[in-house]
Structure 1
Amino acid sequence: MRRSISSFLAAALLATSGLTVAAAPAEAQSYRQQQRFVERFCARNPGARDCREFRRDARRWDNRRYQRWYRDNYRQDRRDATTAAIFGLAAGAALGAAAASSGGGYSSSQAQRCAARYRTYDPRTNTYVANSAGERRVCRL
């Protein structure tokens, strides 16, 4: 009985020690990945305050410090890009609406002259269908 209990405890001890040994390389690899990520960021942004701190004592950066750095720096870049994209779309929509309301850059008298000259004239696009090629051309009257 004692022999079976001691062999069971030895097996349990061996199994748990194997788990901790297996977990250590994954944690070390995660730390190396985080360190490489910060190094790449600092290569692109050499004047960043956190990069100076990282170069001075990178070994003291634990996971909590890395997560704070990631939130403060990297996520800010994403927010800036998102803000710029939204602003660009809004500006494009405003410019498109202004161009559409201006009538395409030609006057109503030009539209009247083109309509009188060409039967296939389209005032929305300021084009007509040419007799020779059957393609649409811009009216320049």
Structure 2
Amino acid sequence: MSRPPLPIGTWGSISTKVIKTDKNGKPVKHQSQTKFRDHDGHVRQVSAVGTSKTGAENALKKKLQDRARTNQSGELTAMHKVNHLLEVWEKRFGSLVADGTRSPTSLDTYRRALKNHVRPAFGAALSRYPRRRADSSQRCQRSPAIEPDCSCQA
């Protein structure tokens, strides 16, 4: 059985190596590195340097914590279900219908498509899908159906 993937926003074990020594062979620069699973679902190598092994590890941990915090604002987290994402989208589109900028018929059509096609196909936590896929449900793809308050013209 294969190893489970890193959860989004986490990192693996940290390894540290000496990258520079002085004339006497004494280590003067260390590099720590690990693999980090970014919010787009891709695993990337992240590294940091320091004058000691502990300094390099601490610099890397700081870098990883900062990286894990980015893109964690908003109503959705990786633990939300796809159905929750759809509910958020429906509310936003419903408010546009109430404002008169979108047609109630469009909302009915989208709700029917969500009920008959989208919701039955999904339901797992958002962390099961790469962030790029999950975000595409909220970001403009040149379609008012996907992004109701889109300013671009298809």
- How does the TM-score come out when normalised to structure 1? 0.29
Greater strand content? 2
- How does the TM-score come out when normalised to structure 2? 0.27
Larger Rg: 1
**Greater RCO (Cα-Cα under 8 Å, separation 6 or more):** 2
